Structure 1
Amino acid sequence: MKFALATALAIATAIPAMAQDAARPNILLVLLDDAGFMDFGAYGGDASTPNIDALADRGAIFSRFYTSPQCGPSRAMLMTGRDNHEVGLGSIPETLSPEMRQYPGYSMRWEDGLPTIASRLKEEGYQTFISGKWGIGDIGQNLPHRFGFNRSFVIDATGGSNYDHTPYLPLSDTTNWYEDGKPITLPEGFYSSEGIVDRMINYLDEADPQKPFFSFLSFQAIHFPIQVAPEYRDRYDGRFDEGWDEMRKQRLERAVDLGLVPDGTELAPLPASSRDWENLSPADQSYWARSMQVNAGMLEAADHHLGRLLAHLEAQGKLDNTFVIVTSDNGPESIGIGNAPGAEGVAQRWWMRQTGWNRDFETLGERNTMTFIGEEWASVSAAPFALFKFTATEGGLRVPLVISGPNLPDSDVIDGRAHVTDLVPTMLDFAGLDPVTPDIRGRSLLPMLSGARAAVYGDDEAVGFEVSGNAALYRGNWKISRIPTPLGDGKWHMYDLATDPGETTDLASARPELFQDMLNEYLSYADEVGVVPVSADYNPFKQVGKNVVRKKAREHWPGLLVAGLVTLTFLFVSFRWFRRRLRP
């Protein structure tokens, strides 16, 4: 009798456990590249993003979600839930000076066994897939198949052509794609947003339908070179003809109307290097308006292909049991290749010609075109905030975040502070796992999503960031930040983001005790994670140029040596000849 009762109890408890296991939710993480805070339609952007907007309608959007200002560090934190320095990604390889690599926080390498969200979920029975941009550390050294992904199809670079292997920077001779850790050649007719969704659909079709999945879909869109089919570009004819000065004001108005920022928010001035739209020639206005058309078109195309994946999941009856997270790795990109002044611009354009790139107006955005939006449109994309990618401003750090999923209530804008390191524990929480792990810095956002709590960080709890000398610390509504030259002054400032998200009024001198307390907390954070201060004259953009020169010198030193010897011999012979001619 006792045995029968024990058996009955065991069965009774096992059935709910089995049912719970069978119903474990799927998780789809979607990452856009360089999408600004207001670029999605749900955030008031100009691009048509109906699929992202539908997710927002049945889920939640966040108004205070922070990443790092560079892609590799953000992606490292997104995968691990740890600070970027703790996992060797204190910067990206392109902006890293050689002497920094001796420090653990800047190694650009991951050791085998480093826990990621993929490895943690895989251990619990999840099938794990990635398709798209990886871009974590040195090329080919930290590929996702080593860190928990069952299947992987990735571009391992900060960027590249969306159609083939053409590199977008002189630092590389090709753009490397890998499948399951092995180099591959892209097929004819490839386009990044379409191709990565196709591959993800294939992976899901081959998966065990009885097991849950974690899928990481990582778009190249809208990192430069911005490229898309003409029909997407041409849908935005005339949309950006008013220019960046006017459209930045419009975005501020929409941000206030949508409740993304408080009424009374002021726009920070554009950088001194920015151009006045009204001072451009009609030809230049048309060119730059067309560049932004390409940007909007590429984002719309990415949304379209995301919609194909969502429709596929719905047709299989899986979408209702799938949490979907959509976000960006950092703020919008302000730079490009081919428009620099002086000798630098001459060198860039020579390299572009050698590599097959052009910036022709008629074909702008199509294959082989080097399209980018520049700092002025980047300031629109990041509006109503200051500056953009590479800087520790709100424009560089604050990005959109959309989350939807089973049993989540429809929410208005969630304005509690959240950070990129919070997404790993949030996904663990979605999977029914313990989100509190000693090596993870972040916190689950599920209490905010469910409506149980308005915030997961108290007013006295701080989170710091640092990349390439750009530093910030958030505590409650307060922020201190330091932006190096040329876009900042290299000094610390303090802002009250509750009333001044545009970062227009420095309150460091008005609240000296609070400022010093927060600065001390940042210094403790920097010491804890291994931040190495950069020199006063460090400039990440110039460092890219230095690294290009160093790389080319290493590759071509025999030829340069011969050329130097020939030049010295010619000068020596010429000097002797002139001396003989000058003798009486």
Structure 2
Amino acid sequence: MKRILAIASLLVAAWQPAVAQKAATRPNIILIMADDLGYSDIGAYGSEIETPNLDRLAKEGLRLREFYNNSICAPTRASLLTGQYQHKAGVGFFNVNLGLPAYQGYLNNQSLTVAEVLKGAGYSTLMSGKWHVGDDSLYWPNQRGFDRFYGFIGGASNYYDIGKYPEKAAPVVLVKDNKKLNLEAGKYLTDEITSNAIGFLDDQAKTNKPFFLYLAYNAPHWPLQAPEETIKKYEGRYDIGWDSLRARRYARQQALGLIPAGQTISPRDSLVPEWDNLSYEDKQVWKRKMEVYAAMVDQMDQGIGKVLEKLKALKKDENTLVLFISDNGAQGGYTASGRRKPQRNSGPLGTAGSYGYQEQSWAYLSNTPLNNYKNNMHEGGISAPFIAWYPKAIQGGGIAKGTAHLIDLAPTFYELAGATYPKQYNGVTPHTLAGKSLVPVLLGKEPEVARGEPLFWERAGNRAVRKGKWKIVSTYPAYKWELYDLDTDRGETRDLAARYPDVVNELSADYFRWAEKTGVVDYEKIKPKGGFAIPGADRVVAANQ
């Protein structure tokens, strides 16, 4: 018996270093997502906005020309967190319940979060920022696999507490590990999201586990609010207007290799006025909008730099994968009848009491050179910058086509972490993962995802399918498909539907098979009557926004 115990002790002693070694070699993962950031809004994708930390990650890492999201906040986050199409995860429309399982407005139990799977594989799971996939406390981050959480639960938030202003508003309500708290007066929410993420990393460093950090900034989502010292950096930078700046961004994108030679640029938005035709007074208002917007992106980049500094201080930078994306394209908002209605204001644009929007004219710049905006399935609505940095494995300076999607992130993380996606979880059979691992693309072995099946989109009646070079798209309330060859016409300037009806029919049939399998229903049957409220947003959103 003593001999058996001795052998067992030796086996345990041998196994423990092996476990520790495995934990040390598995990568840490940081997933950073911006909110309403356009395709060209960072320096590495052509912008004049100062983003030195993201530019550094791009220079030392990999960029993708084509990375897709779900066109709007909550559906994007549902796919990001679960590796499922958003309807399969229960968030087919938004974080509101429309009465069907695919549209219940919060993550279902069959769609495991990345935090749940990685936690089961021995990772610490951390989140700081915007949640937006379940308002009830039963579905908050700590109940869906995250060890630590700081941030806000709903879809929008002020960046400052504004209780001292004449038009008194509710405090900025936040949550930290299931306990509600208010944002302190004078604090800027972007900075607080960064600070709490860094605090979580400090605490986590006391363990011997690898970590997963989901850093979900709400910048540069409205309201436009930023520290005045950062805004001042951009005074005068937007005096030449969106027309000239869009041409400059496009030229930079070509020089960087993001837009291949011969590719198209989307046509001019007829609802965006020519800058030179604006009055002097109008130009002053418009310039300030983009100065504040740029400052919000700049402040976010500063926060990312602080997180990178913390990684280096903890000596974890070489073995950490950092991914950066945006949840959708920049937000438009114009219609044939005019601009969006302004919201309340209790202070100058950019200050704590203001409630400005970027608006479509500047969003036209942000989405350079792509067509359309947030909540639309043309390229400007569903395309995001994508940067992957992993010093240990990714060769610096690369640009790949990619043609990747949010649903690909979960299988990528599981492959890198050596995590097994469970067949059973708390008595539930999880949905099969919908995406493909990006590891071959990240490591330079493949230029794009070898998917073997199309990509699909539907949200509020807007629909699209991407299959190889072909893309069909329709915009609610129309049901007519447009067809584009994205290999040569990513600007979506030439509708080829009449020339290639067989292609349209093939992709349309693919769409309806996917819709039936995924729980998608005709939007006319479920759309909210009279719009719906976004918590914390001080506004009601139309049903098709």
With normalisation by structure 1, the TM-score equals 0.82
**Deviation at residue 243 of structure 1 after TM alignment:** 1.2
Gaps (5+ residues) in structure 1?
167-171, 553-584
1:228-254 CA distance string (max 9 Å, x none): 111211111221111112222222222
Cα contact 2:155–2:534 (8 A) shared by 1: no
Worse overlay, 49-58 or 137-146 = 137-146
Q: Does residue 444 of structure 2 align to residue 451 of structure 1?
A: yes
Match of 1:242 in 2: 240
Cα contact 1:34–1:389 (8 A) shared by 2: yes
Match of 1:401 in 2: 386
Match of 1:388 in 2: 373
Q: 2:498 is matched by which residue type in structure 1? A: S
**Deviation at residue 109 of structure 1 after TM alignment:** 2.8
In 2: Cα distance, 1:298 partner to 1:84 partner: 28
- The 5 A counterparts of 1:371-450 are 371-405=356-390, 406-434=392-420, 439-450=432-443
Q: Does residue 90 of structure 2 align to residue 88 of structure 1?
A: yes
In 2: Cα distance, 1:403 partner to 1:423 partner: 11
The one of 142, 147, 153 equivalent to 2:144 is 147
**Deviation at residue 222 of structure 1 after TM alignment:** 0.4
Structure 2 CA distance for partners of 1:150 and 1:11, relative to 1, 3 Å:
closer
**Deviation at residue 264 of structure 1 after TM alignment:** 2.7
- The 5 A counterparts of 1:552-567 are none
Q: Does residue 207 of structure 2 align to residue 209 of structure 1?
A: yes
- The 5 A counterparts of 1:96-107 are 101-107=98-104
Cα contact 1:425–1:436 (8 A) shared by 2: no
SS state of the match for residue 513, structure 1? helix
**Deviation at residue 141 of structure 1 after TM alignment:** 5.4
In 1: Cα distance, 2:41 partner to 2:53 partner: 14
SS state of the match for residue 233, structure 1? helix
In 2: Cα distance, 1:376 partner to 1:537 partner: 31
Q: 2:531 is matched by which residue type in structure 1? A: Q
In 2: Cα distance, 1:10 partner to 1:263 partner: 60
Worse overlay, 182-191 or 412-421 = 182-191
Cα contact 1:56–1:403 (8 A) shared by 2: yes
Q: Which runs of 4+ in 1 moved over 4 A?
A: 2-17, 111-114, 172-175, 434-438, 536-540, 544-548
Cα contact 1:270–1:387 (8 A) shared by 2: no
In 1: Cα distance, 2:526 partner to 2:420 partner: 45
**Deviation at residue 12 of structure 1 after TM alignment:** 6.9
Q: 1:370 is matched by which residue type in structure 2? A: Y
Match of 1:479 in 2: 471
SS state of the match for residue 206, structure 1? helix
**Deviation at residue 457 of structure 1 after TM alignment:** 2.5
SS state of the match for residue 129, structure 2? strand
In 1: Cα distance, 2:279 partner to 2:137 partner: 44
**Deviation at residue 179 of structure 1 after TM alignment:** 1.4
SS state of the match for residue 66, structure 2? strand
Q: 1:192 is matched by which residue type in structure 2? A: L
In 2: Cα distance, 1:443 partner to 1:399 partner: 18
With normalisation by structure 2, the TM-score equals 0.88
**Deviation at residue 341 of structure 1 after TM alignment:** 6.4
Structure 2 CA distance for partners of 1:122 and 1:547, relative to 1, 3 Å:
closer
SS state of the match for residue 67, structure 2? strand
Match of 2:426 in 1: none
SS state of the match for residue 29, structure 1? strand
Match of 1:122 in 2: 119
Match of 2:543 in 1: none
In 2: Cα distance, 1:34 partner to 1:113 partner: 28
Match of 2:427 in 1: none
Cα contact 1:114–1:147 (8 A) shared by 2: no
Match of 1:543 in 2: 531
**Deviation at residue 520 of structure 1 after TM alignment:** 0.5
SS state of the match for residue 523, structure 2? coil
**Deviation at residue 491 of structure 1 after TM alignment:** 2.2
Structure 2 CA distance for partners of 1:305 and 1:482, relative to 1, 3 Å:
same
Q: 2:34 is matched by which residue type in structure 1? A: L
- The 5 A counterparts of 1:63-462 are 63-93=65-95, 101-111=98-108, 114-138=111-135, 140=137, 142-164=139-161, 176-207=173-204, 208-335=206-333, 345=341, 349=343, 352=344, 357-358=345-346, 363-405=348-390, 406-434=392-420, 439-458=432-451, 461-462=453-454
Q: Does residue 507 of structure 2 align to residue 514 of structure 1?
A: no
Match of 1:498 in 2: 487
In 1: Cα distance, 2:402 partner to 2:45 partner: 16
Structure 2 CA distance for partners of 1:329 and 1:310, relative to 1, 3 Å:
same
**Deviation at residue 463 of structure 1 after TM alignment:** 1.1
1:124-150 CA distance string (max 9 Å, x none): 111111111111144655210110001
In 2: Cα distance, 1:478 partner to 1:386 partner: 16
Q: Does residue 48 of structure 2 align to residue 62 of structure 1?
A: no
In 1: Cα distance, 2:495 partner to 2:21 partner: 55
Structure 2 CA distance for partners of 1:182 and 1:537, relative to 1, 3 Å:
closer
In 2: Cα distance, 1:292 partner to 1:317 partner: 37
SS state of the match for residue 234, structure 2? coil
Q: 1:478 is matched by which residue type in structure 2? A: W
Structure 2 CA distance for partners of 1:287 and 1:490, relative to 1, 3 Å:
farther
In 2: Cα distance, 1:435 partner to 1:39 partner: 35
1:327-380 CA distance string (max 9 Å, x none): 1111112249xxx969x84xx55xx1xxxx24x6xx321211112211111011
1:241-284 CA distance string (max 9 Å, x none): 11112222222222222222222333323444322222211111
**Deviation at residue 225 of structure 1 after TM alignment:** 0.6
Structure 2 CA distance for partners of 1:132 and 1:537, relative to 1, 3 Å:
closer
Count of aligned residue pairs for this structure pair: 520
Structure 2 CA distance for partners of 1:245 and 1:153, relative to 1, 3 Å:
same
Q: 1:314 is matched by which residue type in structure 2? A: K
**Deviation at residue 514 of structure 1 after TM alignment:** 1.2
**Deviation at residue 13 of structure 1 after TM alignment:** 7.6
Q: Report the aligned-residue RMSD.
A: 3.1
**Deviation at residue 535 of structure 1 after TM alignment:** 2.7
Structure 2 CA distance for partners of 1:101 and 1:254, relative to 1, 3 Å:
same
SS state of the match for residue 457, structure 1? coil
**Deviation at residue 426 of structure 1 after TM alignment:** 1.1
Gaps (5+ residues) in structure 2?
164-168, 424-430, 541-545
In 2: Cα distance, 1:546 partner to 1:181 partner: 21
